[in-house]
Structure 1
Amino acid sequence: MDVDVVVAGAGPVGLMLACELRLGGASVQVLERRADRATALKAGAMGARSVNAPTADAFRRRGLLDEVRRAALMWFEPGGEPDTPPEEPVFVGHFAGIPIRADLLDPADPDLAAYTLGGGAISQLDLETILEARALALGAAVRRGVALTDLEADAEGVTAVTEDGPIRAGWLVGCDGGRSTVRRRAGIAFPGTDAEFAGRQAMVEFADPARLPLGDWVRTERGAYVHGPVPGRIHTVEYGPVPAAREAPVTAEEMNESLRRIAGIDAGITAVRAGTRYTDATRQAATYRAGRVLLAGDAAHIHSPAGGQGMNLGLGDAVNLGWKLAAAVRGWAPDGLLDSYTAERHPIGAWVQGWSDAQTALGRPDGRTAALRAVVADLLGTRPAATYVVKQISGLGRGYGTRDGHPLAGRLAPDLPLDDGTTLSARCEEARFLLVTRDPRLRELAAPYADRLTVLPGPGDLLVRPDGYVAGGDAGDLTPWLGLPSTRAA
């Protein structure tokens, strides 16, 4: 083998996966078809990506959250100071474009009190810079300008066919987007629904900026548009025919025509500095694993970007898969562990797509939908509804089903105080299993797993997985999660 794992795609998901694989002891090579990572689109306001609660939690456990927040365009945490003037309302999210006010969140809600609400909004370029630096520091190799064109998989491994020649690996993970070459070459079905609207975003220049003043979203019978929050950023959403040429450059005339169709406005756009198109097409891979080929991020699922859940969903894939695949590489993964990646993440992806489809439906420009939006807006102006929706969009309402009856099993582990004066999250940077206990019997049970498990003195008898989720309590048997002890492993 040339390398344990080849990761196709050096976006946030591929780079996060590379970090997780290296922490687990697997060698990894990331391939990216584009030679130049920096684009005006990713670097500017148009490339901003919200960081939800599970993602912020993962960054915190890996020691990355402070760096992410320093690079963030804005962030808010309950109990902290928002980075907007106090006389202005602070918003922590939206549902189908209906904003949700931070002051409506229930301060007594245990989830909002226990977990980091989010990491703010960060440009994709800045996030990729942070994650690539960490991946390289951990020993991953990142090769840009190298496109994966085909793959050949067998029982022993995968050959990644590239323009620079073949690479033989034990495993291949496609993080190469919605048009994934890996998914297509692996023969994994990608069922779903076709697009209902077309979205366009662009940083533009005007002949006369006064023609289209900055403001909030404007809805019409054909769709919606907004100019802002920074001058020159135009975002349009049109329900109807979807453009076929998704990869062609966005032009000034295209943006002008979109605004004419939606609102009858002659905006006078003269140039597009950077632009992109998207749709609300919803598709999900039938499985996230086919033998030694796996999928993560947009290669596994696509949906409307409404609510900003796409990147977070993909990063959740990476954190869930990384330690499991590394365990398979190192030879200690128990039966079924790698298959649990699809079992745990596929339902989460389907749930996010359901919420995304609901927002598409609520954005339709007909009169009855407008009436429904008014009702939903009233609901979101109440404390219970605002709290519920923010928790769901932030990922706090979803967990994994487990075989353990512990009340925290399958949920993100709380940041428990430990007897040595540290906290649980501060001990997670090495991506190992953690057993929090004061019971000598459990410490003795854990001793043969010293190569993959750290025992921490503290309350709870809690077993925490490398991804920060609770495996369970005192089951008296660690083999379902950790496999055979190192003294007996093959």
Structure 2
Amino acid sequence: MNTDVIIVGAGPTGLMLAAELRLGGARVVVVERLAEPTGQSRGLGFTARAMEVLDQRGLLPRFGPVETSPLGHFGGVRFDYTVLPGAHFGARGIPQSQTEDVLERRAAELGADIRRGWEFRELLAGEDAVEVTVAAPDGEHRLRAAYLVGCDGGHSAVRGAAGFDFPGTPATRRMYLADVVGAGLRPRMLGERLPGGMVMAAPLRPGVDRIIVCEHGAEPVEQDGEPDFAEVADAWQRITGEDIHGADTEWVSSFTDATRQVTEYRRGRVLLAGDAAHIHLPAGGQGMSTGLLDAVNLGWKLAATVAGWAPDGLLDSYHAERHPAGARLLMNTRAQGMIFLGGADAQPLRELLGELIEHDAVKRHLAGIVSGLDLRYEVGGGDHPLLGRRVPPVAVHGTAGQTSTTALLHPAQGVLLDIADDAAIRDAAAGWKDRVLTATAAPAGAGQPLPEHDAVLVRPDGYIAWIGSDPAELTIALHRWFGDPAG
């Protein structure tokens, strides 16, 4: 074996996965066809749940001051996300290029082998290993690993080579995206619907605007490379009457409303994550964030499998947990596209949503979907309302002093929070001390959501796997998620 895991694609998903695998002790090679990062700002932030995930690995401070907005939208209908406790519309104004830089530096610090200018060509998947052929600047290479993960985007070569089924709905429209310089546009932050289509303009920094152009009747076309800005400016002028042909651009791209998801996230020793597993209309900045959550869910499970301590079925739980999350993403982005981009025929739907969204229950539901805060996995072990949900980010105080549930997750190990200071609980977990950190600590302050007299077992990805006070039940949960005890 050249390595334990080969990752194809050095976008946010692939880089986050590389870091997670290294935290779990797996050897990682990342191959990326681009010799240098694009520097493009396609994504402009991440959701509230993705922010928590970055924070639990100590990465959020690397982005500098992070601004969030309580006000967001669903399908262009604005509402206050803070009706759901802890929710917001996400981190705003962070270009994807910065996110990729932070994640690449982190993966390299942890020892990931990142090889740029190496393009995936062929795959041979066997029962015991995978063999990958790549084209590199110095010629063709073959790499052999225990597992391969395709994080190579919506046109994933890995997905095609491994024969994954990718059903869904084909594109019905073509849209343009560009960062324009010197156009002097008035802000259209949530977009403006006009007879000819929809346009959006949002200032990124002085003199630079992000624009989106969706012209009614613009059918999708197969095109090599990105469109010329003249195409974008022509469409903008047809819709708005404004001439922006004289503006400069930092980059130009196009996208469609095609919506697809693979039927399985794992085929033997080949797995998919991020846009390689699901594509959709960009809406609410959810795409990149969902890829990060895919990576954090998969990373510890795949590392445990490579290390040899993963219990039966742990790696398969990646598909079981993330496929429904991806399906929910596709459902809500399709709905938003119908509301936001539909013409006059969609106006009654917009009006109805405007009425419904006045109800707090509807706001909470929609905020939970878009922020990712409504996510709950099936983990078994009882019916406590926090089971399967992410551990709340709260301060805790105990024998080791003041810390937080977020800080305890920095090493990407499991965490047993011994709130009741119960020696029997600690003894039950002793055999897993190489995989689970036991912290005797209670939440600091009143009004926090964690139980006062129980223990809480948290998986490395931050999700609660067990709550209770019975050592025998804890032992069952430890076996289920962390395998047999050492020795």
Question: Could you state the TM-score of these two structures normalised by the residue count of structure 1?
Answer: 0.88
What CA RMSD, in Å, does the superposition of the two structures yield over aligned residues?
2.1
The one of 320, 324, 327 aligned to 1:343? 320
CA contact (8 A) 1:49 1:311 kept: no
Shift of 1:270: 5.4
Unaligned runs of 5+ in 1: 77-90
Partner in structure 2 of residue 458 of structure 1: 441
Greater mean alpha carbon deviation, residues 270-279 or residues 160-169: 270-279
Shift of 1:382: 5.2
CA contact (8 A) 1:69 1:120 kept: no
Greater mean alpha carbon deviation, residues 171-180 or residues 421-430: 421-430
Partner in structure 1 of residue 486 of structure 2: 486
1:161-200: CA deviation from partner (whole Å, max 9, x where unpaired) = 1013001111100000011111111111000001122221
Identity %: 40
Instruction: Give the AA of the match of 1:126.
Output: Q
Greater mean alpha carbon deviation, residues 445-454 or residues 179-188: 445-454
Shift of 1:232: 4.4
CA distance, structure 2, for counterparts of residue 261 and residue 446 of structure 1:
66
Partner of 2:142: helix, strand, or coil? strand
The one of 70, 74, 79 aligned to 1:100? 79
- Cα 1:56–1:232 change in 2 (3 A) is closer
Partner in structure 2 of residue 17 of structure 1: 17
Counterpart check, 1:223 vs 2:197: yes
Counterpart check, 1:150 vs 2:139: no
Shift of 1:75: 2.3
- Cα 1:391–1:229 change in 2 (3 A) is same
Partner in structure 2 of residue 53 of structure 1: 48
Shift of 1:273: 3.5
Counterpart check, 1:124 vs 2:96: yes
CA distance, structure 2, for counterparts of residue 286 and residue 432 of structure 1:
30
The one of 50, 58, 73 aligned to 1:63? 58
Partner of 2:122: helix, strand, or coil? strand
Instruction: Give the AA of the match of 1:10.
Output: A
CA distance, structure 2, for counterparts of residue 428 and residue 342 of structure 1:
23
CA distance, structure 2, for counterparts of residue 452 and residue 320 of structure 1:
16
Partner in structure 2 of residue 319 of structure 1: 296
CA distance, structure 2, for counterparts of residue 241 and residue 258 of structure 1:
9
CA distance, structure 2, for counterparts of residue 193 and residue 117 of structure 1:
27
Partner of 2:465: helix, strand, or coil? strand
Instruction: Give the AA of the match of 1:21.
Output: L
Partner in structure 2 of residue 29 of structure 1: 29
Partner of 1:204: helix, strand, or coil? strand
- Cα 1:436–1:233 change in 2 (3 A) is closer
1:315-362: CA deviation from partner (whole Å, max 9, x where unpaired) = 110000000000000000000000000000000000110000101111
The one of 61, 68, 75 aligned to 2:68? 75
Greater mean alpha carbon deviation, residues 289-298 or residues 265-274: 265-274
CA distance, structure 1, for counterparts of residue 63 and residue 122 of structure 2:
35
Shift of 1:261: 3.8
Number of equivalenced pairs:
456
Partner in structure 2 of residue 291 of structure 1: 268
CA distance, structure 2, for counterparts of residue 205 and residue 134 of structure 1:
32
Partner of 1:372: helix, strand, or coil? helix
Partner of 1:135: helix, strand, or coil? helix
The one of 391, 394, 398 aligned to 1:413? 391
Aligned pairs for 1:25-424 (under 5 A) are: 25-39=25-39, 41-42=40-41, 47-70=42-65, 72=66, 74-76=67-69, 92-101=71-80, 105-106=82-83, 109=84, 112-113=85-86, 118-164=90-136, 165-204=141-180, 209=183, 213-216=186-189, 217-230=191-204, 231-269=208-246, 271-381=248-358, 383-405=360-382, 406-416=384-394, 417-420=396-399, 421-424=402-405
Counterpart check, 1:442 vs 2:416: no
Shift of 1:415: 2.9
Unaligned runs of 5+ in 2: 443-453
CA distance, structure 2, for counterparts of residue 193 and residue 365 of structure 1:
16
Partner of 1:128: helix, strand, or coil? helix
Partner in structure 1 of residue 451 of structure 2: none
Partner of 1:94: helix, strand, or coil? strand
The one of 437, 462, 484 aligned to 1:468? 462
Instruction: Give the AA of the match of 2:68.
Output: W
CA distance, structure 2, for counterparts of residue 189 and residue 396 of structure 1:
29
CA distance, structure 2, for counterparts of residue 144 and residue 449 of structure 1:
38
- Bigger fraction of residues in strand: 2
CA distance, structure 2, for counterparts of residue 232 and residue 404 of structure 1:
50
Shift of 1:311: 0.6
CA distance, structure 1, for counterparts of residue 53 and residue 284 of structure 2:
20
1:3-56: CA deviation from partner (whole Å, max 9, x where unpaired) = 1101100001000001100011101011110012043x32xxxx3433212211
Partner of 1:228: helix, strand, or coil? strand
- Cα 1:307–1:246 change in 2 (3 A) is farther
CA distance, structure 2, for counterparts of residue 29 and residue 239 of structure 1:
44
CA distance, structure 2, for counterparts of residue 268 and residue 176 of structure 1:
33
